[in-house]
Amino acid sequence: MRIAIGSDQATELTEELLAQLEVRGHKLFTYGPVRIGEADRDWPLVAADVARAVADGGVDEGIVCCWTGTGVTIAANKIPGIRCALAGDAETARGARIYNHANVLALSLRATSAPQMREILDAWFATSSQSGEAQSEWNRQQVERVAALEK
């Protein structure tokens, strides 16, 4: 899978995130300082770059990070077609895929440990917005209602 990943700063968590994604065989497109040693970059810019890559179809999905995870979530969701979800645990990541058809995952650099991040990624990649439960009439209708708000 082609994944855009961006962060406003590089931390041990972003290093571990990149390693986990590479081990899982994903092709990565990086934005902002996701590797230690790179200069910090403003979170709205990084989130918008990742979200545009997803919305334009250049990548399949995105992952964005900032200190709380809230800022990148807000910024990414400003791009039409993006459904970015801040997940602090595996069940939230799973629910975001099923109920919200999330296509961008947001993580908090402050509140997410490496073991939590691995569990979140497991749930995120194991759950598809194309699965049976996610494709229920009710779930599809909710996603359509959100898309209508963008117009």
Q: At 104, give phi and psi (nearest 5°).
A: -135, 130
Neighbours of 126 (CB within 10 A): 12
Question: Catalytic annotation on 65?
Answer: no
Helix 137-149 to helix 90-100 angle (10° resolution) is 80
User: In the prediction, which pLDDT does 134 show?
Assistant: 60
Q: What is the pLDDT along the chain (151 residues), one digit of tens a residue?
A: 999 999 999 999 999 999 999 999 999 999 999 877 777 789 999 999 999 999 999 999 999 999 999 999 999 999 999 999 999 999 999 999 988 999 999 999 999 999 999 999 999 999 977 766 667 788 778 888 988 888 8
User: Can you give the pTM of this predicted structure?
Assistant: 0.93
How many helices, marked H, and strands, marked E, lie in the chain?
6, 5
Q: At 7, give phi and psi (nearest 5°).
A: -150, 155
Q: Reduced to 3 states, what is the DSSP secondary structure of residue 39?
A: coil
CA angle 67, 69, 73 (to 5 degrees): 140
Q: What secondary structure does DSSP assign to 59-103, as a single string?
A: SSEEEEEESSSHHHHHHHTTSTT--EEE-SSHHHHHHHHHHH---
User: Which is catalytic among the residues 63, 66, 85, 87?
Assistant: 66
CATH number of 2-149: 3.40.1400.10
Bridge partners of residue 7, in order along the sequence? 65
Encoding tokens for residue 99? Answer: 């109920």
Answer positive or negative: Cα dihedral of 111, 71, 151, 49.
negative
User: In the prediction, which pLDDT does 131 show?
Assistant: 64
| Extents of the domains making up the chain | 2-149
User: In the prediction, which pLDDT does 8 show?
Assistant: 95
